[in-house]
């Protein structure tokens, strides 16, 4: 019998999702060891051991716990990915955890995303020219941020003057900026599993904010994407290598085109509250993930 390991978030209805996943997997003849939080793991003699499970003996490790994974967890996740299949694949996951690397890969593949620049910290003086070239608006983003935290919108030269001393004081070696896209403060979140479209919804920013993140005051909106949006999300997912992805897309009003803002490797299931609002994709997504896991195990065998 095949056996997989799982670490899935428990808040926001995650515990119920986990139960359903385990039940459906079991119907497919796949046993699950859950709660494999690598925070509790150690490694010796060529084995990673988590809650008494020898991770290398599993057929696959499904890691799905958003928020900040610690460096320790990421380190073991990476090592494990050399021994057994991980879902998402560690390499793809690590790529999409980084905003610069993601945008870099999207652009390399001709996928529309905001213009960006990555600088060495000593080259900050260039910022003024860039600000002008981009029409006077840009965003400073920590490359590993989440939830809209740490983003700084720079709208004029005075704002830039104010942030420069701060940037000089930090010990980051590089910094990443993006052109501020003129958009209507709403976005699309497109869920993809195994190269297939699962669902679409959107979010709109809270009053007075330009960030659509729920944790920054945004709220869910029901919306139907046109085919262009879905196609863009599928392409973006493909080039990142993610098996499970949530692609964030906005509409650039100036260039009159859709752009990919972010590709998330752990897009949340709908919470019970969001299900009440009409987000009804959870079961579809669970089925697709179960099918995907079965496929991965077969490939391995
Ligand atoms: N280049 C941009 N132009 C306009 N708005 C942006 C841009 N980048 C991000 N935003 C807004 O800020 C939010 C958070 O940015 P994002 O890059 O997705 O970081 P996070 O990982 O914190 O969600 C986005 O959902 C979007 O609403
Ligand atoms: Mg985001």
pLDDT of 122 reads: 79
> What is the average pLDDT across 280-290?
98
Counting ligand 1 atoms within 8 A of each CB, the residue from 262, 264, 268 with the most, and so the one to mutate, is 262
pLDDT of 67 reads: 61
Between 129-138, 259-268, 282-291, the lowest mean confidence (pLDDT) is in 129-138
Residue in 266, 285, 271 with CA at minimum distance from that of residue 68: 266
Tell me, what DSSP letter sits at residue 34?
-
Q: How many domains does the chain have?
A: 3
Residue 210 belongs to domain with CATH number: 3.30.470.20
Q: For residue 169, give its domain range.
A: 115-179
Residue in 234, 255, 97 with CA at minimum distance from that of residue 247: 234
Residue percentage of the chain with pLDDT more than 90? 82
pLDDT at residue 125 tops 80: no
The dihedral sign for the CA sequence 199, 111, 104, 124: negative
125 lies in a domain? yes
Last residue of a domain, one of 179, 202, 230: 179
How many C-beta atoms lie closer than 10 Å to residue 62's C-beta?
24
DSSP helix, strand, coil percent of the chain (3-state; round to 5): 40, 25, 35
pLDDT at residue 42 tops 90: yes
The rounded mean pLDDT for the chain is 94
Tell me, what DSSP letter sits at residue 225?
P
pLDDT tens digits, 64-98:
997 667 899 999 999 999 999 999 999 999 999 99
264: phi then psi, degrees, rounded to nearest 5: -100, 135
User: Are 160 and 207 in the same domain?
Assistant: no
Counting ligand 1 atoms within 8 A of each CB, the residue from 96, 145, 213 with the most, and so the one to mutate, is 213
User: Are 191 and 226 in the same domain?
Assistant: yes
pLDDT tens digits, 206-239:
999 999 999 899 999 999 999 999 999 999 999 9
> What is the average pLDDT across 5-18?
96
Are the C-beta atoms of residues 164 and 124 closer than 8 Å to each other? Answer: yes
Residue 49 belongs to domain with CATH number: 3.40.50.20
Are the C-beta atoms of residues 235 and 111 closer than 8 Å to each other? Answer: yes
User: Are 74 and 146 in the same domain?
Assistant: no
More confident residue, 136 or 301: 136
Is the peptide bond prior to 88 cis by the omega test (within 30 degrees of 0)?
Answer: yes
pLDDT at residue 127 tops 70: yes
Which ligand has the nearest atom to the CA of 211? 1
> What is the average pLDDT across 5-22?
97
Instruction: Give 67's contacts (C-beta < 8 A, 6+ positions apart).
Output: 9, 146
pLDDT tens digits, 234-282:
999 999 999 999 999 999 999 999 999 999 999 999 999 999 999 999 9
Residue 120 belongs to domain with CATH number: 3.30.1490.20
User: Are 168 and 212 in the same domain?
Assistant: no
């Amino acid at each position: 019998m095949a056996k997989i390991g799982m670490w899935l978030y428990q808040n926001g209805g995650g515990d119920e999702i986990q139960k359903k996943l385990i039940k459906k997997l079991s119907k497919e003849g796949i046993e699950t060891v859950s709660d494999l939080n690598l925070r509790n793991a150690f490694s010796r003699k060529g084995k990673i051991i988590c809650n008494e499970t020898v991770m290398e003996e599993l057929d696959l490790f499904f890691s799905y716990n958003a928020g900040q994974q610690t460096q320790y967890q990421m380190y073991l996740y990476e090592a494990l990915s050399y021994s057994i299949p991980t879902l998402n694949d560690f390499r793809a996951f690590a790529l999409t955890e980084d905003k610069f690397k993601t945008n870099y890969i999207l652009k390399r593949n001709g996928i529309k995303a905001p213009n960006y620049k990555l600088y060495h910290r000593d080259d900050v003086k260039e910022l003024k020219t860039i600000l002008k070239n981009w029409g006077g608006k840009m965003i400073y983003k920590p490359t590993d941020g989440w939830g809209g935290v740490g983003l700084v919108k720079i709208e004029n030269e005075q704002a830039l003057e104010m942030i420069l001393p701060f940037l000089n004081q930090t010990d980051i070696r590089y910094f990443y900026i993006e052109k501020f896209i003129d958009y209507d403060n709403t976005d699309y979140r497109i869920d993809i599993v195994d190269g297939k479209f699962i669902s679409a919804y959107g979010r709109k920013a809270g009053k007075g904010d330009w960030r659509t993140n729920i944790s920054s005051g945004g709220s869910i909106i029901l919306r139907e994407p046109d085919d262009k949006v879905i196609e863009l999300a599928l392409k973006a997912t493909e080039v990142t290598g993610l098996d499970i992805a949530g692609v964030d897309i906005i509409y650039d009003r100036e260039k009159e085109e859709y752009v990919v803002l972010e590709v998330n490797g752990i897009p949340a299931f709908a919470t019970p509250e969001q299900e009440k609002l009409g987000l009804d994709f959870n079961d579809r997504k669970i089925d697709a993930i179960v099918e995907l896991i079965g496929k991965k195990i077969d490939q391995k065998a």
